[in-house]
Amino acid sequence: MTKNLRAGLIGLGMMGRHHARNLRALEGVDLVAVADPGGDLHGAASGLDVLPDARSLIEAGIDYAVVAVPTQFHREVALTFAEAGVHCLVEKPLAFDIDEAEEIARVFDAAGLIGAVGYIERYNPALQEMRSRIADGQLGQIYQISTRRQGTFPDRIHDVGVVKDLATHDLDLTTWVAQSPYATVSGMSTRRSGREHEDMVSIAGRLADGTITNHMVNWLSPFKERVTVVTGEKGALVSDTIKADLTFHANGRAANVWETMASFRGVSEGDAVRYALQRTEPLRSEHQAFRDAILGDPSGIVTMREGLHTARVVGAVLESERTGNTVSL
């Protein structure tokens, strides 16, 4: 009988508690050790001793680790695990800056270890279905990808601004859905709540395949919104990742005999279909994909190299905001 993989988790905060819950339910995996210098405030690891650091997790004899510590500590923790030959799933973003991200990706590659980044949105059923339909040609040529990610400020975030914490999701999922990297980005941000880091950003970009993109992200809206719209030559796909809903709006086939309106609208309105999807918790799917990668099938993970590209795009957005110029990647 094949032995279960021994998993460790470092970081038991707001995200770490959900990692603990999913690791405990994951087939073929045993959560054998957890660590957090602040203890287990949410009671996520009952029955386990809460260890102080990454080295104590290594001493517990783990096969892989999930890193859910604040971004500023990702480099130190990830490299500690790499040195010990431990595979790692690191919460997004991969690192605090580009240099750290490059170092982590390089070290894991050189060690032959499985390294992944926790971009949970990729595992949302609505976005997975969207990507599949786009790849199958449902929209034809893609013209534009637009995202909106808005809500109130999460008090747990203190070390980064809205670009590194939230916009990084949209930058990653856009390249993944389109299967094309960013070529240029331009960002404008502001600080309206008295915090050190930016709390609102607007990002415009162009992918290598010519698709134009825009992202509206903030912590200043009194409502929560997670929407991705992909517009192409045959219509548009709209995903609401809070509800895991996906809707297709087709370009109409009927001729518009109202000449003035036809010239104004460009395309006519067609049928709209909201798809029935199997809704699996994205974090559960993410953990299943990482387990499978360790067992030999890495096709479902967000690799550290992909995480590195997103870190570069994030850096370019912040540089653009700082200089007022469009930045090429």
DSSP assignment string, 103-138: HHHHHHHHHT--EEEE-GGGG-HHHHHHHHHHHTTT
pLDDT of residue 117: 98
Reported residue count of the chain is: 329
Average pLDDT of the chain? 93
Question: Range(s) for CATH 3.40.50.720 in the chain?
Answer: 5-121+284-302
Establish how many alpha carbons lie within 13 A of residue 60's alpha carbon, considering only the half-sphere containing its beta carbon.
Answer: 27
pLDDT of residue 143: 97
* Percent of the chain clearing pLDDT 90 (strictly above): 84
Per-residue pLDDT averaged across 69-76, rounded? 94
pLDDT of residue 157: 65
Looking at the predicted structure, is the pLDDT value of residue 253 above 90? no
| CA dist., res. 93 & res. 247, Å (int) | 29
Which residues in the chain belong to E strands, given as ranges? 5-10, 29-35, 50-51, 64-67, 87-91, 115-118, 142-152, 182-190, 200-207, 212-218, 220-232, 235-240, 245-251, 269-274, 327-328
Looking at the predicted structure, is the pLDDT value of residue 158 above 70? no
pLDDT of residue 42: 86
What's the Cα-to-Cα distance from 316 to each of 202, 280, 297, rounded to whole Å?
13, 34, 32
Superfamily of domain 122-279+311-328: Dihydrodipicolinate Reductase; domain 2 (3.30.360.10)
pLDDT, one tens digit per residue, over 300-322 is 999 999 999 999 999 999 999 99
Distance of CA 282 to the CA centre of its chain: 11
pLDDT of residue 202: 98
Per-residue pLDDT averaged across 104-113, rounded? 97
Measured at the CA of 97, the angle between CA 310 and CA 180, to 5 degrees, comes to 10
CATH of domain 5-121+284-302: 3.40.50.720
Per the rule left: phi > 0, alpha: psi between -120 and 50, beta: everything else, 118 is beta
| CA dist., res. 118 & res. 24, Å (int) | 18
Q: Please state the pTM of the whole predicted model.
A: 0.90
pLDDT of residue 45: 87
Question: Range(s) for CATH 3.30.360.10 in the chain?
Answer: 122-279+311-328
At 65, the pLDDT band (50, 70, 90 cuts) reads very high
- Hey, what's the torsion of the CAs at 318, 319, 325, 329, to 10 degrees? -100
The owner of tokens 């339909």 is 133
Non-local (6+) Cβ contacts of 137 within 8 A are: none
pLDDT of residue 266: 67
Contact 32, 23 (CB under 8 A): no
pLDDT of residue 264: 55
At 275, the pLDDT band (50, 70, 90 cuts) reads very high
